[in-house]
Structure 1
Amino acid sequence: MPLAEIPLCVWRKRGHSFVFRGQTIRYWTAGQGEPLLLIHGFPTASWDWHYLWQPLAQRYRVIACDMLGFGDSDKPLDHEYSLLEQADLQLALLQHLKITAPVHLLAHDYGDSVAQELLARHYETRANIASCVFLNGGLFPETHRPVLMQKLLLSPLGWMIGRAFSRDALVKSFTQIFGPHTWPSESALDDFWSLVQSNQGPRILHKLIVYIPERRVQRDRWVRAMQRGEVPLRLIDGGFDPVSGAHMLELYRQLIPDPDTVLLPEIGHYPQTEAPVQVLQHYLAFRENLVLPPRQFACS
């Protein structure tokens, strides 16, 4: 049975705000129980989780924010964006909500890198992470295959490319990364664009894209954290994704001890919107079996 969507106009009305280092951040929370932090990707926002939001809120206290520079949060032009600062933001949000219990993570794309940083901080006793599930993202820089727009934004002309970024450019990029049968509707594309465009977002895309080289700097520290094995991990991966699909999952299985992976063969880069029922199924199965080793490979 399909999961009910939350229209963007409704989602926006349900949001709250708090101030992080002088910038206004939009966030959402619902449900009760163990805290589950949802961390979105680039260049979109926390609305990416809207199909999963209500089913997860029936079981957990779900929390998500539009990170600094994304969605409806502030997008300062004179700012150096960093994945490390986004991890600071996530911890500040938990503190704002007075959450002290261990936190479960569900992350995607850019959010995977933020989750990796939080995982590393867990082992440095600077965060308290109970588990982490990754969706498609650049967990290993050597397997990340950026699309043309990302390469252009990283170039010396990135500032100009970003300012010219349009709905058509977003659609062209998405064409390359979605599954063959799970293309977003025109309405969904309008909503994705609305979130990118909010608060003059295109003018800072060239600043946000520095996460790609930043991943290379942090690569070994983050991979070591994933290899520790004390925090339960799962990777749910859309295998059709040319950016971080089946090729990334294969390296994950080589580098991570006792790897827990789920392959969704016909799904692209956005499993939570392309195949939300499957993602929910595999996420809940992971949570129900946290105490039951060993973990196995699944395919659906």
Structure 2
Amino acid sequence: MSALAGLALDDWRARGQGFAFRGHAMRYWSAGAESAEPLLLIHGFPTASWDWHYLWQPLAQKYRLIACDMLGFGYSAKPRGHAYSLLEQADLQQALLAHLGIGGGVHVLAHDYGDSVAQELLARHHEGRLRLASCVFLNGGLFPETHRPVLVQRLLLSPLGELIGRLFNRRKLAANFSRVFGPQTQPSETELDDFWRLIAHNDGPAVMHRLIRYMPERRAQRQRWLAAMQRGAVPLRLIDGAADPISGAHMLARYRELIPAPDTVSLEGIGHYPQTEAPALVLQHYLRFRQALEERA
């Protein structure tokens, strides 16, 4: 599935480190030289930072990488009665950077749910609350009007959400992923096993109906986040798997309508998870973006 050698989930887990965020035990990963430019990787829903495992070692050769499993995801805490919020997840990213003593301009690479967290960080950049050097988005709901959630996401947001979450299992994950991955880039059974292990860890399905509240939160923040993207002071790029039914070619078209001088890449035949479906292409287009920034500097 990939020309890049990824990290096995058990190896990835063994490399994780811990820190506390508002009393919750969080897991994070870091790699690369501390003197290198920091690159913050922000994962999506319902998976975790292992999503970046194909890109991790190639990117660590050039940048100082930082990634965490956000609250409610992967190997981090999944508190039951918690009011999960994208704004709090942005607080978490800032707390992690502070924990590692990282200041100055931070580059961001984000996917899916992580796109929304990155949009919030971008808004905070313009509010003077942190400094971003660049931001690259992969497939995600950047604009609520183009987001086409799958059925299970809509059901999780309904009054039946808690029950739907508890009934979610590996078979249903496989069925949903088969619809959102590209036709020629479907996940292997081993990858599906690992994705499910991350979701199921510490009874993750029990909080999925709470995590899904990011969808109305996106609508509430739309104007603020769009304004931040339109200001143009922070270099942006969208690398989009065009075959994604959730946020593929239709979302890329909307991005080109709304964002001044849009820098976009369309990956034909690739679905919602370009970093696992076509990691070599994502790496190539990300490095070209960064090279162009360096040449302009």
Q: TM-score, normalised by structure 2?
A: 0.98
Segment drifting more, 169-178 vs 135-144: 169-178
Residue aligned with 1:237, SS: strand
Q: How many residues align?
A: 293
Listed as ranges, the gaps of 5+ residues in structure 1 are: 294-300
1:73 paired residue number: 76
Q: Distance in 2 between matches of 1:246 and 1:117?
A: 23
Q: CA RMSD in A?
A: 0.9
In structure 2, what residue type is equivalent to 1:95? A
Residue aligned with 2:83, SS: coil
1:97 paired residue number: 100
1:296 paired residue number: none
Q: TM-score, normalised by structure 1?
A: 0.97
In structure 1, what residue type is equivalent to 2:56? W
1:49 paired residue number: 52
Q: Does the Cα contact within 8 Å between 1:41 and 1:109 map onto a contact in 2?
A: yes
1:7 paired residue number: 8
> Once the two structures are superposed, what CA deviation does each residue of 1:63-87 show, in whole Å capped at 9, x if it has no partner?
0000000000000001100000000
Q: Distance in 1 between matches of 2:202 and 2:101?
A: 28
Q: Distance in 2 between matches of 1:172 and 1:154?
A: 19
In structure 1, what residue type is equivalent to 2:280? V
In structure 2, what residue type is equivalent to 1:143? T
1:30 and 2:31 matched: yes
Residue aligned with 2:246, SS: coil
Q: Distance in 2 between matches of 1:227 and 1:261?
A: 14
> Once the two structures are superposed, what CA deviation does each residue of 1:154-200 show, in whole Å capped at 9, x if it has no partner?
11000000011100111111111000100011000000000000011
2:177 paired residue number: 174
Q: Distance in 1 between matches of 2:152 and 2:166?
A: 12
Percent identity reads: 70
In structure 2, what residue type is equivalent to 1:11? W
Query: Which one of 212, 220, 223 corresponds to residue 215 of structure 2?
Result: 212
Q: Distance in 2 between matches of 1:205 and 1:179?
A: 24
In structure 2, what residue type is equivalent to 1:24? A
> Once the two structures are superposed, what CA deviation does each residue of 1:202-235 show, in whole Å capped at 9, x if it has no partner?
0000000000010000000000000000000000
2:292 paired residue number: 289
Q: Distance in 1 between matches of 2:117 and 2:130?
A: 12
Residue aligned with 1:216, SS: helix
1:148 paired residue number: 151
1:279 paired residue number: 282
In structure 1, what residue type is equivalent to 2:195? F
Q: Distance in 1 between matches of 2:251 and 2:143?
A: 7
Q: Does the Cα contact within 8 Å between 1:138 and 1:144 map onto a contact in 2?
A: yes
1:240 paired residue number: 243
Q: Distance in 1 between matches of 2:220 and 2:208?
A: 20
> Once the two structures are superposed, what CA deviation does each residue of 1:100-152 show, in whole Å capped at 9, x if it has no partner?
12100000000000000000000000011000000000000000000000011
Q: Does the Cα contact within 8 Å between 1:34 and 1:101 map onto a contact in 2?
A: no
Residue aligned with 2:136, SS: strand
**Would you identify which runs of 4 or more consecutive aligned residues in structure 1 move more than 6 Å?**
none
